[in-house]
Chain A
């Protein structure tokens, strides 16, 4: 695949993530903060997000597996994940967290277990998509090309 084709693939791929609602405009905000002086800013933030989320999801699993679920422990974790996913533009993860928090408020253990599964699903999805996106970018850079700026006309 030549450079132009790779760049087109990246643009199409990125666009699809927005159209599917996997990413929202906050991701574009992050891309705007990336420049020659900070060429890896987005991947750095996203990497922090992955590390942080892995930790939170682990803590959530443990908390929900307790005999008696302490919602005072569960809710702050979900709130944290909601916040960080919102900050990077991981829209579906954020939305899943909003639903999760509602059930925490109701102290509905069954529903919370389902919510955790949903959040995990959305998280692994966005993680997979973003890892693919970064790979595409790396291929372009390795071929001596520039990452095309995201066009907002969709």
Chain B
């Protein structure tokens, strides 16, 4: 299931995403009650629907990925983005990231990792595992706005790519595979595209410390 199929994106000419686009539903995972309150508000003020959970296990339960039942999509609303703390007791944010990327039903959902510790190997490990971005805590409004724009832009490009490849198929009359729509494709080739953005945001995070 491509992310682009979840939401119908209409980008108005003015480029103001917040007005006409449907709301992102974000699943925020953090064991700290203070941080859950803050991230929830940051996301709501950025016009996102938010569900907060206190652990990776609860996150998997919410998604319907817990136990051996596999993905059954029990949640009421489709999740468009997962934002998770890295250091949590039990399942870490990294463990959660891996489980999501291993799931055929949910691997297309972008996952953003938050951490209070700016440890480069940790950041690299998460990005390598398929995290969309890495936020250094304490999270600010500017971080959330940036992530939201990144996710919206990626989804818009997914939509564009699908429609372009469909046009090409019609023109050529050949059954060519579309480059980004199918989740059965090797995940790493899909994510080659935004990697330059990831590297940029990684250095932004680091430079914000200087």
Contacts and interface: CB of A to CB of B under 8 A. Distances in A.
B92 to A, nearest CB: 12
Q: Which of B34, B35, B37 has the most CB of A within 10 A?
A: B34
A58 interface: no
B147 to A, nearest CB: 16
Interface size bucket, A side?
A: 20 to 34
Contacts of A49: 34
Contact of A76 (B35, B41, B89): B89
Interface stretch (A9-17, A84-92, A111-119): A84-92
User: Mostly helix, strand, loop or mixed at chain A's interface?
Assistant: helix
Interface string A75-107: 010011011101111000000000000000000
A48 B138 contact: no
Interface string B113-143: 0001000000000000000000001101100
Contacts of B163: none
Contacts of A86: 116, 137-138
A69 interface: no
B45 interface: yes
Interface in A49-92: 49, 52, 76, 79-80, 82-84, 86-89
Contact of A33 (B42, B116, B138): B42
A33 B89 contact: no
A85 to B, nearest CB: 9
B166 interface: no
Contact of B35 (A32, A33, A38, A84): A84
Contacts, number: 52
A41 interface: yes
A33 B41 contact: yes
A87 B137 contact: yes
A83 B41 contact: no
A3 interface: no
B87 to A, nearest CB: 7
Given A29-B141, A33-B141, A87 B34 contact: yes
B89 A48 contact: no
B33 interface: yes
Contact of A87 (B31, B32, B45, B87): B32
Interface of A: 26, 29-30, 32-33, 38, 41, 44-45, 48-49, 52, 76, 79-80, 82-84, 86-89
Given A29-B140, A29-B141, A32-B141, 13 more contacts: A29-B138, A30-B38, A33-B41, A38-B41, A48-B33, A76-B89, A82-B116, A83-B35, A84-B32, A86-B138, A87-B32, A87-B34, A88-B34
